[in-house]
Structure 1
Amino acid sequence: MNRPSTTEQPPRLRAIAIGLALTAFIGFAVPYNEFLVKGTQLALSSCTPVAILLLFVCVAIVNPLLRLARRSWALSRGELLVVFAMAMVATAVPTRGVTGMLLSMITGPHYYASPENQWAQLVLPHIPSWQIVAGGAELRHFYEGLPRGVAADWSVWLAPLFWWGLFFVALWVVTLCLVSVLRRQWVERERLAFPVIQMPLAMVEGAEGRVVPPFFRNRLMWAGFAIPLVLLSLEALGNYFPAFPAPFQKMWVLETLRGAVKIPVRLNPMMLGFAYLVDVRLSLSLWVFYLLFAFTQGWFVLVGLTSGEWLGYWTLRDAVGPIFAHQSMGAMIVFVACGLWVARAHLADVARSAWRGEPAAATGELMSHRRAVLGVLAGGFFMTAWLARTGIPLWLAPVVVLAAFVIFVSLTRAMVDGGLAVVVPAMVPLGFVLSGFGTDALGATGVVALAFTMVWAGDMLMIMMPPCAHAARIASDLPAGRGRIVVGALLAMLCAYVVSAAVTIALGYANGAADMDQQYFNAFPQYPGRVAALKLANPSGANAAGWGWTGLGAGIMAALTFATYRFPWWPLHPLGYMVSPVWIMRHLWFPFLVAWLVKTIVMKTGGIEAYRRSRWLFYGVILGQIVTAGLWLVIDLLTGTTGNQLQVY
């Protein structure tokens, strides 16, 4: 870990002002790109590539120009870190993070209700009026575009955006407070790798010394940078001129067991770069467990061991998907429980500090432990009460919240320890509660209310906890003023929420949301209604088989965890088992295999020093892919080209 210099000054308040400016830019640019330009989606994963791109612009272009104009104008290393942290959390709000999912699902029930789906009778009576946008002319204008000469009535959006905004603020407060509690355990005691931000931290190192920071004077970094620059540019040119090869679009599929096992093979340079920064035991575990899952899944299909459950969207489906989704959920529960057990001494220190009321300055944390603990409790209570107000039974609402945070913590740990720059769960709270307790326990209103949890805990390509955990790790490199990270993060979240919601609504009025994006404004808006209507038409009780598979997954995870801590020679990390069924591993297992192989050879032949030198090559690979994608996005804007989406993962 980079230790903060004792002579380095704490970041000034101007860093928060600059961070807010970038936050507003992100809130505007991300929906504009995804809905109109349809270029490369740099805000579609919790590793926040767009924030890394903006940090590159600040460090490589803006800061040197400021330093040349007047030395005092240049941002210090600490200020750059605050700006970067704010950009990371802001990226988790537009489109897939919050506002895109929210605006699609709170407008869908009325707009897509029809005599055929009977939502007017089955679903709409159970939805509180303040939770969704009312039907009528304004809703049609949003989906179909404003008629000429007609002004938009923005008042119809105020109530649902306000009440949902309160829920998200509570969610963000719990998230920030939780990562504040866990920061010392993860950063200082367990010394997790945080692969996603190793390269950004290296980029700002020494930024105050010279016009060109040391990072950009490393030849090995530029060699790595050139690899994705060439490959992605060929792909981009292929979208302009079909004669050019498109290497990133190539995927090979290995088939065996009479076609029951299909294993995709694709090498993504950026994912390879992140994987190289991970401990070799973790990288080995990730690809080994994925292959074990692929063969087990195929064998289940061949022998007819299938599941008839349908647990909604974003929980594994098909013939055997729910079986492995349950196992993964059981694994996540044990994973979080074991993590809390390992951290028990630290958590006891937190409890004592909270009881004594020690200030943040005394603990060196983002906030005082008392404030963090109270934030978790108060925010969790508000989320529970809010969900109960929507119709989820009061005794089940805490289960939904706890299930969500088990998943959030598991995915965050997979990213900050396992280097999975893109990660999603195999099961979401909707599926867990539907299977574990059944529609009979929920009642009709509860089923409809539970379906709307997909707004904030459905598609989890972008969730808030990983950026907050990275912000907490960044705060560890600040000599003082760590609390400004928290203030900046909260302001960035609120700013991004307001700006991105306003921009998305304005784009809908101007262009017709239904024509902007089929996924966001045709598929997603219908998800809650479809789930609720189907489950209400086919009520069910708790699924005992599902609990059995969950217990099996928990047992396997417990055994793997025991072996990891008990036997130093044990080669496989339990994290690999937990994430093996998720769909994204089809794209990531091969980069982890290659990274494991290369890193093993480097470590055995050259030792730790050879690995430290070689990291610069992979820093360049990561940065090169992000910057090249951003460069072509600018070119697309200048040329008026749409749909030129380059591979990010």
Structure 2
Amino acid sequence: MKPNQQYQKGQLFTIRYFRILPLTFVWIVLQTGLYGYIHLNGFGQFIANHLPVGSVFLLVIFAFLLNPILSRFGPTAPFNTAELTLCWVMITAAASVPGYGLMEFIFPYIAAPAYFATPENQWAELILPHLKEWLYVTNQSALNKFWVGINPYQTIPWQIWVRPVAIATIFGLSFFFSICCWAVILRRQWVERVRYTFPLVQVAANLTQADLNQKAFQPVFRNRLFIFGITFAVVVHLIRGLHQFYPFFPNIPLDYPIRQFFPNKPWLAIVTGWPLLFRLRLSVVGVTYFLLPDVTISIWFFFLFYKFQEVAISAFSIARINTQQQVMGAVLVLTVVSTWQARKHLLAVCQKTFTNPVNSALVDDKSEPLSYRSALLGMIGGFVFMGTMAVTMGMSVWMAILFILLMWILATTAAWHVSNAGCLLVNVGFTPFNFFRMIFGGRALGVRNLILLSFDRSSIPNWSSQSLMAYSIQNFRLANTHHLRSRSMKLTQWMLLAVVLSIVVTFFTTLTWIHREGAVNLTRWIFNVGPGAMRRAIDEILNPSPPNLPGILSAGTGGIIMSGLIFMRQRFLWWPFHPLGYALGVTWAPSRLWFSTLIGWAIKFLILRFGGFRALRQGQPFFLGLIIGEYFMAAVWQISALKTGVGYWGGPPS
């Protein structure tokens, strides 16, 4: 079979690269560039979740407009499943760069140290001597243009930004490459053996599935419940969007504030930190419908469990303990247990790499996106390169090893959340800086390690909403769903190429938008992370903290609880809770997802209770329509913000 041909259910597809690649590359450029304006100006989230709005929008255009038109010119004219899958794989991989991805925080980090250093804050004496000059921008004229903006007659000093951005990007890209290889290694374990549900892949699978009977629309899009679901979502967001422009127009509220009901301690803890938000998002309700019952109930139950712990901590004024420490222990136990469960597969991969037994079916990797040898050696090589760069930057060797290990754990955990629970948003709940400071204390870490760890979101934000590992493992599962051969399609190579293209586009477009407006006039919290990192480092340098024993005990408690949850789920079929909910913790993600998940769980429970499994299956198109309809309208309103300047935050998780 030729490399550009794929079989699906007995049909042979030819991937016509000359058609699909130009459209894909153009959309990557547009999607990446639009982020720079939409997100930095606070107009909405065009990319930032594990089912990117921009990517869904393009595939909706393919499914509902381009392919129906092309079908009039013959049965082979529309884009086929393999072509649409390749397009989806590339545009989602590219979405891991802007938004909350690789390039989001590089600019504020490298622009903050020299610009905000003053005699009062002592950064010039205590921090800058420990930072390599090639890690940040020192030219004050360039920094003034970045933070304040330029007039139409001034130019952007591109050459000054190239070196620090390139260094940070290469560092992050080496990690991206490594976790992409790690996703290849885990694919069989997660997809074929443990059989995670991959809920978000079901949306992508429907959007990339071309009708084998050469109809204009595939069957699910002709389903009455799907039409009703998508119409309902479109109407809701059409009304809400019009209200944004015309306040006299009626509104459909989806956010229900409760802060006024809890003005005093200890109940104030419910609405502070990561607050208890009553936000209804139709797409989250739709995704919830495709989740396992124990996953669904655990997401909202454990968020409430954590919030009431915070009330107790506030009531008794317990010092140096917070709920995030429990998440640290839970995540570490989860990683150990899941690695142990995959030990046979991982040992087989190592055996294939280093001894290459040709007759062992256990280590057959012909159906994998890359050979196991290439994947394992690529992952090791990427981590070694990353560690070498970290040491060159000034990090201790032992700290570099632990840092990379922790980042690997965080990326794997984020992908695990997405694969099991379809988490549109993932925030693992703690950063390397907080974790290592708790374990070792500031004095033991040393000044250089503290400073470099404080830049913990600069180029590898894998506790965020756009982890390349999560995108990678989902894309491999999508190809498997369509019975496509990932290796012959070169999915891994195309994903990495899309990432590189998105990096280049992000560099030029984001710097352009920042210089046009001035960073101080854009979304404040994004650009506060740079000065915030410096303040965090200087506080620890001036007042180094000892190891946090209460925090370590709290993390140990989290590990014990996680072990108990895993044990109960494996031993007792009646056990209602999934460990995933506890590992999510109290972060930005469950704060915004829990209420919609609760509503979705209740709807699914009622349908199952009164209609049975048949009604449950028949209802799937409606909830798929809710997801696609809300995403489509969110994209429409955010694109309209380019002209109107009126943003829209009522759509997918925001």
Q: TM-score, normalised by structure 1?
A: 0.92
Residues 72-114 of structure 1, C-alpha deviations (whole Å, 9 max, x = no match): 4432101101110111111111132122211111111112222
CA shift digits 1:493-526 (9 cap, x unpaired): 00001101111112223332322332233x1221
C-alpha distance in 2 between matches for 1:70 and 1:33:
39
1:191 maps to 2:199: no
| 1:184 to partner: Cα distance | 1.0
Name 1:39's counterpart in structure 2.
43
1:199-598 map, 5 Å? 199-208=203-212, 209-243=214-248, 244-252=250-258, 259-260=267-268, 262=270, 263-307=276-320, 322-357=321-356, 362-457=365-460, 460-476=464-480, 477-482=482-487, 483-521=489-527, 523-598=528-603
**8 Å Cα contact 1:205-1:215 kept in structure 2:** no
Alpha-carbon distance change, 361 to 34 in structure 1, aligned in 2, over 3 angstroms:
same
The alpha-carbon distance between structure 1 residues 348 and 241, as it changes in their structure 2 partners (threshold 3 A), is: same
Partner Cα separation in structure 2 for residue 6 and residue 134 of structure 1:
61
Q: Is the 8 A contact 1:429 1:457 kept in 2?
A: no
Unaligned runs of 5+ in 1: 308-321
- State the shift of 1:21 in Å: 2.5
The answer to whether residue 114 in structure 2 is matched with residue 110 in structure 1 is yes
Query: Which residue pairs with 2:128 in the alignment?
Result: 124
Preserved CA contact (<8 Å) 2:171 2:389: yes
Report which stretch shifted further, 176-185 or 455-464.
Answer: 455-464
Do 2:285 and 2:600's aligned partners in 1 also have CA atoms closer than 8 Å? Answer: yes
Instruction: Give, in angstroms, the shift of residue 17 of structure 1.
Output: 4.3
Q: Which moved more, 1:505-514 or 1:388-397?
A: 505-514
Q: Is the 8 A contact 1:366 1:475 kept in 2?
A: no
Given that 1:170 and 1:380 are in contact with CA atoms closer than 8 Å, whether structure 2 keeps it comes out as yes
What is the alpha-carbon distance in structure 2 between the residues aligned to residue 460 and residue 554 of structure 1? 22
Distance 1:95 1:200, change over 3 A: closer
Equivalent residues of 1:145, 1:512 under 8 A apart: yes
> Counterpart of 1:550 in structure 2: which amino acid?
A
Comparing 85-94 and 600-609, the one that deviates more: 600-609
Question: Does structure 1 conserve the Cα–Cα contact (< 8 Å) formed by 2:101 and 2:460?
Answer: no
Provide closer, same or farther for how the CA distance between residues 167 and 457 of structure 1 changes in structure 2, counting only shifts above 3 A.
Answer: closer
In 2, Cα distance between the equivalents of 1:42 and 1:27? 9
Contact 1:39 1:645 in 2 (8 A): yes
Is this contact kept in 1: 2:185–2:375, CA < 8 A?
yes
1: CA distance, partners of 2:483 / 2:617: 23
Number of matched residues? 630
Q: Which residue of 2 aligns with 1:310?
A: none
1:317 corresponds in structure 2 to none
1:103–1:22 CA distance, 2 compared to 1 (3 A): same
Provide the secondary structure at the position in 1 that maps to 2:642.
Answer: helix
- 3-state SS of paired residue (1:456): coil
Runs of at least 5 residues in structure 2 that lack an aligned partner in the other structure: 1-6, 271-275
Tell me the TM-score normalized by structure 2: 0.91
Aligned 1:64-103 pairs, distance under 5 A: 64-69=68-73, 71-103=75-107
Aligned to 1:168: 172
Matched position secondary structure for 1:609? helix
Q: Deviation of residue 472 (structure 1)? A: 1.6
Partner residue, 1:182: 186
**How far apart, in 2, do the equivalents of 1:550 and 1:580 lie?**
12
Per-residue CA distance 1:235-285 (angstroms, 9 max, x = gap):
222221222324123334676996356343332211111111100011112
- Name the SS for the 1:107 alignment partner: helix
In the TM superposition, what whole-angstrom CA distance separates every residue of 1:167-219 from its partner, at most 9, and x where no partner exists?
Answer: 12211111110111111111111221111121221233343522223232111
Distance 2:232 2:387 in 1: 49
Deviation larger for 6-15 or 586-595:
6-15
Q: Per-residue deviation at 1:223?
A: 1.1
Q: 1:150 aligns with which of 110, 133, 154?
A: 154
Distance in 2 of aligned mates of 1:507 and 1:190? 45
1:311 corresponds in structure 2 to: none
